[in-house]
Amino acid sequence: MAKRKGTRGRIDLFTESLRAILEYGDTSFTTEPLMQKPEELGYSDSDLADAWRKWEARVLDHWREDPLANAGERPWAWWQYEAPEPRLYFGDLPPDEREPRPSIYDVDYETEDEYLERLNLLEGWELEGVELHRDLYRGGREKVLEDRAAQARARMVVVED
């Protein structure tokens, strides 16, 4: 019987696939042709916990590069290995029937930005983006874009010859 090659050495290289897994839980946001889950690439939960500890700062730096998209959210690995407590649950399922690691899109749980705000974990770079996200959900995308365009037009200075 052939001995399975371990993945331990693979967490020492910060690859595009590893970054995507730590950020999103799979390789869906990479240039790879097929989305793959961590276990399909041979990563165990222990491997990913070690990778998060090793690469957390680099992943978070990359995460912060897109503040409007990522404000009020955290990478997948943060939720798996670092979140101080579970998100609040508002549904009606008994505890033993709930998902142990709910999706960030599960409407029976508080949103990521609500969680981060409740625990005072929002960072300064996120505040404008969180407000934009909340505006988008409250007033609709079109209204927010129209308002922002009007604000931009109001700031424009007309230069006459």
pLDDT, residue 120, reads: 96
Please list, in sequence order, all residues whose beta carbon lies within 8 angstroms of the beta carbon of residue 74, skipping any fewer than 6 positions away: 63, 82, 83, 112, 116
Q: Within 10 A of 54 (CB to CB), how many other CB atoms are there? A: 15
**pTM of the complete model:** 0.72
72-119 pLDDT tens trace: 999 999 999 999 998 898 888 888 888 776 776 677 888 888 899 999
Cα(142)–Cα(126) distance, rounded to whole angstroms?
Answer: 22
Q: What residue has token string 């371990």?
A: 6
146-155: per-residue pLDDT in tens?
766 777 677 6
Chain centroid to CA 112: 9
Q: Residue 68's pLDDT is what?
A: 81
How many C-beta atoms lie closer than 10 Å to residue 9's C-beta?
Answer: 8
Q: What percent of the chain has pLDDT above 70? A: 76
Give the pLDDT confidence of 119-147 residue by residue, as tens digits: 999 999 898 888 887 777 665 555 656 76
Q: Which residues contact 99 (CB under 8 A, 6 or more apart)?
A: 106
Share of the chain above pLDDT 90, in %: 28
pLDDT digits (tens, 9 = 90+) for 5-47: 454 447 888 888 888 889 988 877 766 666 778 888 888 899 9
Q: Given a cut of 50, is residue 53 above it in pLDDT?
A: yes
Distance CA 140, CA 96 (A): 36
Query: To 5 degrees, how large is the angle CA 103–CA 104–CA 108?
Result: 80
